[in-house]
Structure 1
Amino acid sequence: MPQMEISVDYLIIGAGISGLAFADALLSRSDATMAIIDMRDAPGGHWNDAYPFVKLHQPSSFYGVESRPLGSDARDREGPNAGFHSLAGGPEITGYCHALMRDRLLPSGRVRYLPRTRVEADGTVRHLLSGARTHIAVRRKRVDATRYTNSIPLTHHRGFAVARDVVCIPPNDLPRMAATVTKFTVLGGGKTGMDSCLWLLEGGVAPDRIRWVVPRDQWFVNRARVQPGEDFFDDALEGFVRGREDIAAATSAIDLALRHERSGLWLRLDSRRLPEMFHAAHVSEGELAVLRQIEDVVRLGRVHAIESSRLHLERGSIEAEAGTLYVDCTASALAPVPAEPVFQPGRIVLQPIRFPQIPFSAAYLAVVETTFDEDAEKNRFAAPVPVTTTVEDYIRGLLPDLENRLRAAGEPRLREWIRQSRLDGFARQAAQVDPADASRQALLRRVRQSTEAAYGNLPRLLEAIIDASAG
């Protein structure tokens, strides 16, 4: 079978949101050609395998690619997110990705898309169905958009044993099977576990029919504080200032978390328990109020094994009702991996530059790539921000996040792009504040002052974390 030959400027490995956001920005800012390869059948990455009731946990306007909005900026009128901007669901996001490829990337004539393919060790691209190979000559760089591949319920490998007479499903199967059982046990205290519990409760399942296994409690971002648009601008900016002031005053990780809670920035499920985990999941107070209806919350660590009448966990075992439907929400989403330079000889490794703003980060990196010539200079504006799993991780990530922001603010070309970027969320609106608006101008000055104060305290806060871990 003859080998195909393709020559492009950039080879983008991964057609998830990161790869698409990078390609979209690159298309807008250069005349470069590119090939996008992905093992899946369609663009959109893990969204193609997501459970049917999944939604973004941030407003839709913060997601997608730079060139086209996601959603309509409408607000939810009912449910626990009522009054806030709507959250795009899985089918809407996959449709968005398909349309982006069909209507923008491919018609440009500068993008080749090769689904159902993977890069082999010898650098060739193998088509998974036919086995045919394509050699792609890359004139500039390979772009790795798979560094932070999501681990999702449908495809992850379980870390626990399940007896043959026990039914344990990913949440993808929950709508199909929920009507056939009377008792549910949701495994996992993260966003997927919360989504599954909310889906059951909002569907009319009585709280006493649900057991929720929460291995470790988490802090959550209060969605009310990160709403876009004119109506929320003052409140969002005030929240930003309070967050920076909290960082400037904090003396430890726990102290910072509690300050964020008092400032209305962070929330927790149970006020009697002090969480250590923080994955940057966003929730509304309405969602937490619904979830608190579940009284059978098990906090004995991770699941080790499930038997028909027994549930074995890290710190003990408990009785289980035969016939229970177990919903496996234990996939870890973005797993921490060691950071490495984004810009390398012949290679770009897409990583968060602001966490959890993954699409913004990918688009921003395309802007950096097309603005500067040398990798060392590009990396000055693109320090990777580690994925957050604990409050300590969050604090460690604050330093590169703030440095990226400050350096970009001092570079006119990056500053101007950020000010018009819809994915930034607030910079465009801040840049349009009327100079005569004394109240908002004062708020913007507080943003700058509090950011400088936060940056000044971070070394002391990081040192306190090191001392605490050593002690």
Structure 2
Amino acid sequence: MPIIDGTYFKTSVPATHTPSFTVADGVEFAPLNDLPYLKQARKGYVVIGGGKTGIDAVLWLLGNDVNPDHITWIMPRDGWLIDRKNTQPSREFFEQTMGAQANQAEAVATAENIEDLFDRLEQGGVLMRIDTNVRPQMFHGATVSTDELTELRRVKNVVRKGRVTRIDIDQIVFTEEDSIATTTNTMHIDCSARAVPVTETYDVFQKNKIVVQTVRSYQPIFSAAFIAHIEASYDDEALKNKLCQVVPLPNHDTDWLTGLVAQMQNHMRWTKEPDIREWLLSNRLDGFTHLTQVSCETTPEQMAILMRLKAAGPKAAANMPKLMFEVMKITAER
């Protein structure tokens, strides 16, 4: 029996991780988990972290009637965000979910370069950003609703000076030459942990060990189930690894495209295996495959969306090498 290695993700959360910066004695500092236990209001609140945890902290504060002018949001990098309405794999949300898939394919098919790609993705409602005047350089797959995005935009004091290196009693230091003021009556909220701080990928199947990783973007639970199905259904290790190519976890903005390419390559392999096609259609963790199937429930409007997706697919695949070449150049310069 193989060993199932489920430690790959090394999940890091604010409540348990050690910040990468120092905090002086006397500074009010806590993970966002402690917010519900505050007994009295503070003069100000500093949210440290621009990812989904930081987003959740800001939304909690606003939802509990904290004046947005009393919130300082330290955002080392802005991130591209996914609209939650596009991630609902049910007939009720077909137009939004599959419409976004069609918009995505058309954006990849017609983009002249990476900047143009993200412009098209934003225009098509596939991706969103908090500040339309700031070009995001991060993508972690964070999902928000448009109502939540409206709330986040109420916070105007967003600090983009890089990562915090030290919090003193009276200042938050980024570099020795760059800092902002703070007070002893300010709550500093740690949202700096990266949920899944890994960058390397490995073969999933390694003789007597299975290293559980993502084989579809942002879906670790589906990925684990899929890997289990492949282990139970196939014997050849080379074939199993071919069917379970790892979709890298995203970090930079360009990782959106890198992940999409890997996911599409997996999907193409899966569609050639009748057993896998049947498994996907019957698996409750994969509603997206079911939505692509034409049935008596498919309306003319839904059929039109599926035809758009079908038409754009080959064009997107043909344009991807050009876009990925630019991604390689951008990555080398970082």
Same fold (TM over 0.5): yes
Distance 2:24 2:263 in 1: 45
How far residue 470 of structure 1 moved from its aligned partner, in angstroms, is 5.0
How far residue 229 of structure 1 moved from its aligned partner, in angstroms, is 2.3
Q: For this pair of structures, how many residues does the alignment match?
A: 332
- Asked if residue 261 in structure 1 is aligned to residue 122 in structure 2, the reply is yes
Q: Which residue does 1:166 correspond to in 2? A: 27
- Asked if residue 276 in structure 1 is aligned to residue 137 in structure 2, the reply is yes
2:45/2:187 contact within 8 Å kept: yes
1:207/1:293 contact within 8 Å kept: yes
Q: Which residue does 2:229 correspond to in 1? A: 367
How far residue 231 of structure 1 moved from its aligned partner, in angstroms, is 2.1
Q: Which residue does 1:452 correspond to in 2? A: 314
- Asked if residue 209 in structure 1 is aligned to residue 70 in structure 2, the reply is yes
* Counterpart selection for 1:384 from 246, 250, 262: 246
* Cα pair distance change 1:436/1:153, threshold 3 Å: closer
How far residue 186 of structure 1 moved from its aligned partner, in angstroms, is 0.8
% identical equivalent positions: 36
How far residue 406 of structure 1 moved from its aligned partner, in angstroms, is 1.1
Higher relative contact order (CA 8 A, sep 6+): 2
How far residue 432 of structure 1 moved from its aligned partner, in angstroms, is 5.5
Residue aligned with 1:402, SS? helix
Residue aligned with 2:142, SS? strand
Q: Which residue does 1:402 correspond to in 2? A: 264
Q: Which residue does 2:217 correspond to in 1? A: 355
Backbone CA RMSD of aligned residues: 1.8
Listed one character per residue, the Cα deviations across residues 299-347 of structure 1 (whole Å, up to 9, x for unaligned) are 1111111111111114711111232110000001111331111111111
Structure 1 counterpart of 2:65, one-letter code: G
Distance 2:326 2:162 in 1: 27
Q: Which residue does 1:441 correspond to in 2? A: 303
Q: Which residue does 1:309 correspond to in 2? A: 170
1:251/1:464 contact within 8 Å kept: no
Residue aligned with 2:72, SS? strand
Unaligned runs of 5+ in 1: 1-139
* Cα pair distance change 1:432/1:449, threshold 3 Å: closer
Structure 1 counterpart of 2:271, one-letter code: A
Of 306-315 and 431-440, the range deviating more from structure 2: 431-440
Listed one character per residue, the Cα deviations across residues 189-247 of structure 1 (whole Å, up to 9, x for unaligned) are 11111111111111111112211111111110111222232221122111101101111
Structure 1 counterpart of 2:138, one-letter code: M
* Counterpart selection for 2:107 from 242, 246, 250: 246
Q: Which residue does 1:196 correspond to in 2? A: 57
1:257/1:391 contact within 8 Å kept: no
Distance 1:160 1:451 in 2: 45
How far residue 436 of structure 1 moved from its aligned partner, in angstroms, is 7.7
- Asked if residue 184 in structure 1 is aligned to residue 184 in structure 2, the reply is no
Q: Which residue does 1:423 correspond to in 2? A: 285
- Asked if residue 235 in structure 1 is aligned to residue 85 in structure 2, the reply is no
- Asked if residue 346 in structure 1 is aligned to residue 217 in structure 2, the reply is no
1:335/1:387 contact within 8 Å kept: no
How far residue 368 of structure 1 moved from its aligned partner, in angstroms, is 1.0
Structure 2 counterpart of 1:333, one-letter code: A
2:22/2:167 contact within 8 Å kept: yes
2:217/2:260 contact within 8 Å kept: no
TM-score in terms of structure 2 length: 0.94
Distance 1:243 1:421 in 2: 24
2:26/2:184 contact within 8 Å kept: no
**Which has a greater percent of strand?**
1
2:48/2:190 contact within 8 Å kept: yes
How far residue 437 of structure 1 moved from its aligned partner, in angstroms, is 4.6
* Counterpart selection for 1:462 from 320, 324, 332: 324
Of 322-331 and 224-233, the range deviating more from structure 2: 224-233
Unaligned runs of 5+ in 2: none
Q: Which residue does 2:181 correspond to in 1? A: 319
1:422/1:428 contact within 8 Å kept: no
1:253/1:395 contact within 8 Å kept: no
How far residue 154 of structure 1 moved from its aligned partner, in angstroms, is 0.8
Distance 1:468 1:161 in 2: 32
How far residue 178 of structure 1 moved from its aligned partner, in angstroms, is 5.6
Of 297-306 and 315-324, the range deviating more from structure 2: 315-324
Listed one character per residue, the Cα deviations across residues 332-385 of structure 1 (whole Å, up to 9, x for unaligned) are 111133111111111111110111011111111111111111111111211101
